Amino acid sequence: MMSPSVIFIAILLLMSAAYYAGRKRALAVAGSRAGLARMHSRPTYYGLLTAMWCGIPALLVFSSWSVFESGIITHLVVAGLPDAIRDLPADRLNLVVNDIRNLVSGNIVSADIDQTMRSAADHYLELQAISHASLAVVILAMTMAAIAILMRIIAPGLRARNQVESIIKWILIACSTIAIFTTIGILLSVLFEAIRFFEKISITEFLFGLKWSPQMAIRADQVGSSGAFGAVPVFAGTLMISAIAMVVAVPVGLLSAIYLSEYADRRFRAVAKPLMEILAGIPTVVYGFFAALTVAPLIRETGIGLGLDVSSESALAAGLVMGIMIIPFVSSLSDDVINAVPQAMRDGAYGLGATKSETVKQVVLPAALPGIVGGVLLAVSRAIGETMIVVMAAGLAANLTANPLKTVTTVTVQIVTLLVGDQEFDSPKTLAAFALGLILFIATLILNVIALHVVRKYREQYE
Amino acid sequence: MNNATANGLPPGRRAIDIVNAGLSKRYRRERRFRLYGISAILASLLFLSFLFGSIISKGYTAFQQTFIRLDIFFDPAILSQESLTTANYPGVVKQSLRQMFPEVTTRQDKRMLYGMVSNDAAFQVRKLVLDSPEMIGQTLPIWVAADDDIDMLMKGHFDLDVPESERRINDVQLAWVDRLQQENRVEKRFNRTFFTAGDSREPEQAGILGAVMGSFYTLLVTLLLSFPIGIASAVYLEEFAPKNRWTDLIEVNINNLAAVPSIVFGLLGLAVFLNFFGLPRSAPLVGGLVLTLMTLPTIIIASRASLQSVPPSIREAALGIGASKMQMVTHHVLPLALPGILTGTIIGMARALGESAPLLMIGMVAFIVDIPGGLTDSATVLPVQIFLWADSPERAFVERTSAATIVLLAFLIVMNATAVILRKKFERRW
């Protein structure tokens, strides 16, 4: 059985074999200690060079083969299906292909498997076996050829170290470009689906419509599933919850940063700072559970005690807990910024007779303001993109309301509800999630770029 | 003092008087401001202890489980030698329950009686019989797990003052439980199932091992990919990259990715890894890939900071004795920067361990009973398991959710403590 993982391990083994072969060859070419000194590089580098020439092309072939294999095999299997099945509409055909794949991997649930499916699955397995075998042959041939060539060209004049180093450098460059590819990947994946969504629903309706109810009617006479995609209530809910979070996080975070950097002695700081950072390390799902189980009922009972009508999934509970989560974020960013204000400015204020709080309020804070604003913007972007707390503690109903005691929904909640579970990939319902994702990505991107720019400018000012 | 008038002050009043008059007010303001600061810190610490207190107080009981001792008669009539694997084991358990409560006759009451022990009891009996078939024909006392409602009752989570019709346990069952207790047949023991089982619809059979293994495989992929790639990018950007537009672009990108909402990475995983490359849904492999992209910026930023802190003199000395640039990095700079890089990696891994939003997008929320055994098996992870259980209506799942949270937090605390110790131990001031 030539499964891909066996082939992968074989490549690694061949690489190490190649390393030893190359090293041994270099030692043999050198002959003696004196000969070793005449070699351009140390024997290790000849070994490494052999291993790289043997392994890197093989790994590249292996990975591209794995990427395209299933697509090509599926294509061939579909081409071999009876005409009656091939003429099905695209989505039905997809289901058939899925069934065949399930049959191949052996996790079929339904008991009745008809003959065409069985033979298609056998065809699939057969093609897969051929593909794996030919991959093994190709890779073996490539590695052997590479080793054979290297054995011949290893000579005292071969600049093995320089070649190895330049290959490593290219690998480093390739790794560092992954960040760019990730960004492009994110942009393309949300953009394509979002464009498909906007072909069905106009952008203006999406951005300015006041009604959000993404359930599409299956039958024409169905009640309550109009399929309205006006996202304003969703945006409003996101903004409200983020605003509540900011109302909690900014004052508390800022004041604690001020206290820690201006007033606290070293010992207090050494204890309090790590403790506050624990808050930042708690997983958001834990906050969500806490919000849904403890905070929301607490708020509801208090509200009912005061004679208010509080929804059990109120925006207040989600926003409050999200605010707690963001406190350490605001406080550590502001702490950095406040510490960057030169001591000379404080000394100047003290010299004029200002008290400590007057110095903070009239000298330090104005000087640190751009940095603090940058930090707050980053915190806002964090709040907008936060998912688990709102999924667990905020609701699904898209109410357009300004009352924080009512249920609202957010962009991230909608993305999760629309995409979790079974989904067809063409319905506006699923595509709407990507449109929301695009808006979320753009909004946070703009906030981040502004914030990072402001913070960087501010740092330069005092350096 | 003619100067006073020249300064615009009313005659007879000196500047110091004005200052003195306002002084007590200013001092009060000073004290008030200080108080705001300290109360802000105390408020956040109070939240922290409230959160921990609420989770621990709700969750610690899940580490115990109520067991009931049944006198099981291994009836040869039911357990015939030929069909031991498929025999009617639930029947054996039911029979012994009927023998203990002979007065129960009606169908409805019987069903209530059978509901007092977990379904797992039958599997337990089956395992015993298969291990030692010589038991058949004997009557042996066996401790079986109680149903979750009985468990909740024993742990005092049910308010017995509410009217019977609104309780999950009625008065008949209460009487049975009392009788069992008088006969010393009820006991609370350490809940092993919680650590050795996968997910289940029945709270008393549900465990976190499946989710823990899922988290393990996911993090394995994340670590194997993000650690080398992260170091490679950091080394390139810090040691080799020329200062030009291209590297600026990479830097801006990395900083931005660090602040992109995690759910967006989930959308990327769904569109690219699942729909474009056709990788399996719910697999730790895909989860690991998504989390790799998410943690890479963290690791790169931490590694760069660590590389920056290695003083230039080390580099100059290495280059001075004839090392190539690559040798300088691999032989000298990287080993010195490694503790800092490891710290950053551990912190990145801790964040990946707690992450759930992107994994919801790639289908790691399925209800999975089996414990995953590889990178492409369907799996879920610990935080997602918490999310799933938090949605379950049974009271017993509240306790288990909190207990799973305690386990998750324990893992995170261990990881972060390791990072702190590593930093303390290897931190070097040049």
Q: Is residue B127 part of a domain?
A: yes
Predicted confidence at residue B188, as pLDDT, reads 87
SS3 content of chain A, % helix, strand, coil (to 5): 80, 0, 20
pLDDT in tens, B334-370: 999 998 999 999 999 999 999 999 999 888 888 888 8
Listed range (A121-125, B40-44, B80-84, B383-387) with the worst mean pLDDT: B80-84
pLDDT level of residue B176 (50, 70, 90 thresholds): confident
Q: Do B40 and A275 touch (CB under 8 A)?
A: no
Domain final residue, candidates B60, B78, B102: B60
Place of tokens 């399930």: A102
Q: Do B42 and B87 belong to one domain? A: no
The answer to whether A342 contacts chain B (CB < 8 Å) is no
Q: Do B39 and B168 belong to one domain? A: no
pLDDT in tens, B401-418: 999 999 999 999 999 999
The answer to whether A420 contacts chain B (CB < 8 Å) is yes
The answer to whether A161 contacts chain B (CB < 8 Å) is yes
Residues of A in contact with B37 (CB under 8 A): 255-256, 258-259, 262-263
Place of tokens 């309020």: A361
Beta bridge pairs of residue B65: B189
Interface test with A, best of B18, B38, B41, B286 (most A CBs within 10 A): B41
pLDDT in tens, A343-397: 999 999 999 989 999 999 999 999 898 889 999 999 999 999 999 999 998 887 7
- Cα–Cα distance list, A29 to A34, A145, A152, A164, A281 (Å): 11, 20, 10, 19, 57
Q: Which residue of B has its CA nearest to A414?
A: B263
Q: Do B29 and A284 touch (CB under 8 A)?
A: no
Candidate from B37, B355, B412 with C-beta closest to A258: B37
Give the span between the Cα atoms of B34 and B40, in whole angstroms.
10
- Cα–Cα distance list, B422 to A333, B52, B343, B410, B418 (Å): 24, 26, 7, 18, 6
Residues of A in contact with B354 (CB under 8 A): 281-286
Residues 6+ apart with CB under 8 A from A382: A326, A329, B259, B261
**DSSP for A321-351?**
HHHHHHHHHHHHHHHHHHHHS-HHHHHHHHH
pLDDT in tens, A317-334: 999 999 999 999 999 889
Residues of B in contact with A375 (CB under 8 A): none
The answer to whether A356 contacts chain B (CB < 8 Å) is yes
Q: Do B329 and B362 belong to one domain? A: yes
Residues 6+ apart with CB under 8 A from B387: A285, A288, A289, A388, A391, A392, B356, B360, B365
Q: Do B416 and A281 touch (CB under 8 A)?
A: yes
Place of tokens 């694997």: B85
Q: Do B401 and A289 touch (CB under 8 A)?
A: yes
The distance of A229 to chain B (nearest Cα, Å) reads 19
Predicted confidence at residue B276, as pLDDT, reads 82
Residues of B in contact with A392 (CB under 8 A): 387, 390
Please say if the pLDDT value at position B24 is more than 50: yes
Interface test with A, best of B33, B239, B262 (most A CBs within 10 A): B33
**DSSP for B186-238?**
EEEEE--HHHH----SSGGG--SHHHHHHHHHHHHHHHHHHHHHHHHHHHIII
Domain final residue, candidates B155, B175, B196: B196
Give Cα B139 distance to the centre of its chain: 43
Q: What is the mean pLDDT of chain B?
A: 87
Predicted confidence at residue A143, as pLDDT, reads 92
Side chain identity, residue B113: L
Q: Is residue B89 part of a domain?
A: yes
Range of the domain at B17: 2-60
Question: Average pLDDT in the B323-331 region?
Answer: 93
| Count of positions (residues) in chain A | 463
Ranges of residues in chain A with a pLDDT under 70 are 1-2, 91, 105-113, 215-226, 421-426, 462-463
Verdict on whether the full-model pTM lies above 0.90: no
Residues 6+ apart with CB under 8 A from B390: A285, A288, A289, A292, A293, A392, B397, B401
Domain final residue, candidates B164, B196, B228: B196
The distance of B136 to chain A (nearest Cα, Å) reads 36
Burial of A89 per CB tally in 10 Å (0-12, 13-18, 19+): exposed
Interface test with A, best of B16, B32, B253, B273 (most A CBs within 10 A): B253
- Cα–Cα distance list, A91 to A82, A94, A141, A252, A429 (Å): 17, 5, 41, 53, 16
Q: Do B314 and B382 belong to one domain? A: yes
Residues 167-196 of A with CB under 8 A from B: 168-169, 171-173, 175-180, 182-183, 185-186, 189-190, 192-193
Candidate from A275, A285, A378 with C-beta closest to B356: A285
- What backbone torsions phi and psi does residue B189 show, to the nearest 5 degrees? -130, 170
Give the span between the Cα atoms of A380 and A242, in whole angstroms.
7
Q: Is residue B202 part of a domain?
A: no
Between strands A228-229 and B139-145, the pairing is: unpaired
Predicted confidence at residue A405, as pLDDT, reads 85
Alpha helices, DSSP H, located in A296-427: 296-305, 315-340, 343-351, 356-359, 365-385, 388-393, 411-419
Q: Do B48 and A161 touch (CB under 8 A)?
A: no
Region of A286 please: left (phi>0), alpha (psi -120 to 50) or beta. Answer: alpha
Q: Is residue B399 part of a domain?
A: yes
The answer to whether A423 contacts chain B (CB < 8 Å) is no
The distance of B313 to chain A (nearest Cα, Å) reads 22
Sheet with B139-145, side-by-side order of all strands: B139-145, B64-73, B186-190
Residues of B in contact with A385 (CB under 8 A): 260-264
Where in chain A is CATH 1.10.3720.10?
228-462
The answer to whether A391 contacts chain B (CB < 8 Å) is yes
Residues 260-299 of A with CB under 8 A from B: 260, 262-263, 272, 274-276, 278-279, 281-290, 292-294
Candidate from A172, A331, A385 with C-beta closest to B240: A172
Predicted confidence at residue A73, as pLDDT, reads 85
Give the span between the Cα atoms of B296 and B221, in whole angstroms.
13
Give the span between the Cα atoms of A437 and B262, in whole angstroms.
11
The distance of B51 to chain A (nearest Cα, Å) reads 7
Number of inter-chain CB pairs under 8 A, A vs B:
259
Q: Do B45 and B179 belong to one domain? A: no
Using DSSP's 3-state secondary structure scheme, residue B134 falls into helix
Q: Do B78 and B154 belong to one domain? A: yes
Give the span between the Cα atoms of A175 and B258, in whole angstroms.
16
Please say if the pLDDT value at position B1 is more than 50: no
**Closest C-alpha among A133, A130, A157 to residue A73:** A130
The distance of B395 to chain A (nearest Cα, Å) reads 12
Q: Which residue of A has its CA nearest to B39?
A: A256
Q: Do B100 and B23 belong to one domain? A: no
Q: Do B312 and B398 belong to one domain? A: yes
Percent of chain B with pLDDT over 90: 42
Candidate from B271, B326, B356 with C-beta closest to A168: B326
Helices and strands, number each (H, E), in chain A: 20, 2
Residues of A in contact with B268 (CB under 8 A): 182, 185-186, 189-190
Percent of chain A with pLDDT over 90: 43
Buried b (16+ CB within 10 A) or exposed e, A133-168: eebbeebeebbeebbeebbeebeeebebbebbbeeb
Q: Do B376 and B409 belong to one domain? A: yes
CATH number, domain containing residue B387: 1.10.3720.10
Please say if the pLDDT value at position B381 is more than 90: yes
Q: Is residue B90 part of a domain?
A: yes
Q: Do B214 and B192 belong to one domain? A: no
Q: What is the dihedral angle through the alpha carbons of B318, B324, B328, B330, rounded to the nearest 10 degrees? A: -150
Question: Average pLDDT in the B112-139 region?
Answer: 83
Question: Average pLDDT in the B63-73 region?
Answer: 87
Using DSSP's 3-state secondary structure scheme, residue A222 falls into coil
Q: Do B266 and B344 belong to one domain? A: yes
Give the span between the Cα atoms of B316 and B216, in whole angstroms.
42
The distance of A241 to chain B (nearest Cα, Å) reads 16
Using DSSP's 3-state secondary structure scheme, residue B326 falls into helix
Six token digits for residue B187: 């006991």
Q: Which residue of B has its CA nearest to A64?
A: B277
- Cα–Cα distance list, B161 to A207, B165, B395 (Å): 53, 11, 17
Q: Do B51 and B73 belong to one domain? A: no
Question: Which CATH superfamily hosts domain A228-462?
Answer: MetI-like (1.10.3720.10)
Q: Do A387 and B34 touch (CB under 8 A)?
A: no
Side chain identity, residue A134: S
CA atoms within a 13 Å half-sphere pointing along the CA-CB vector of B233? 25
Beta bridge pairs of residue B66: B188
DSSP state letter for B10: P
Q: Is residue B339 part of a domain?
A: yes
Predicted confidence at residue B4, as pLDDT, reads 46
Q: What is the ipTM of this complex?
A: 0.89
Q: In which element (H, E) is residue B94 found?
A: helix B89-100
Q: Which long-range contacts (CB under 8 A, 24 or more apart) does A21-25 make?
A: A21/A47, A21/A50, A21/A147, A21/A151, A22/A46, A22/A47, A22/A48, A22/A49, A22/A50, A22/A51, A22/A147, A22/A150, A22/A151, A22/A154, A23/A47, A23/A50, A25/A50, A25/A150, A25/A151, A25/A154
Residues 6+ apart with CB under 8 A from A59: A11
Using DSSP's 3-state secondary structure scheme, residue A196 falls into helix
The distance of B230 to chain A (nearest Cα, Å) reads 8
Number of separate domains in chain B: 3
Q: Is residue B191 part of a domain?
A: yes
